[in-house]
A and B are shown apart, each in its own frame.
Chain A
Amino acid sequence: MPAQPLELILARQFGDSLNMPVFLVDTEGNLLFYNEPAEEIFGLRFNETGGMRLEEWATIFKPVDVDGNPLPPEGLPLVKTLTTRIPASGSFYIDNMKGERYFISVTSVPVIGRANRYSGAMAMFWKTASI
Chain B
Amino acid sequence: MKVKIWGCRGSLPAPGPENVIYGGNTSCVQITHGDTFIVLDAGSGIQRLGKYMNPNVKEIHILLTHLHIDHMMGLGFFLPLYDPEVKVHIWGPDSGKESLLGNLRRYFSPPLFPVTFSELPHHPVIHELSQNTFSLGGLTIYTDYLCHPGATLGYRITDGKSTVAYIPDHELGLGSSNFPHDPEWTSGYEIAKAADLLLHDAAYNSKEYSTKIGWGHSSVRDTIGFAKMCKVKKLALFHHEPTRSDEQINHLLDTSLRNQDLDFEVIMCAEGDVFEF
Contact = CB atoms under 8 A, between A and B. Distances in A.
Given A9-B175, A115-B130, A3 B94 contact: no
B178 to A, nearest CB: 10
B147 interface: yes
A6 B175 contact: yes
Given A3-B190, A114-B151, A117-B130, A12 B185 contact: yes
Contacts of B185: 3-4, 9, 12
Q: Determine the interface band of chain A, counting residues with CB < 8 A from chain B.
A: 10 to 19
A122 to B, nearest CB: 15
Contacts of A10: 147, 174-175
Contact of B177 (A1, A12, A114): A12
Interface residues of B, number: 22
A75 interface: no
A39 interface: no
Contacts of A72: none
Contact of A3 (B93, B151, B186): B186
Interface string B183-216: 1111101100000000000000000000000000
B95 interface: yes
Nearest to B94: A115
Contacts of A2: 184, 190
Interface of A: 1-6, 9-10, 12-13, 16, 33, 113-115, 117
Interface of B: 93-96, 130-131, 144-147, 151, 174-177, 183-187, 189-190
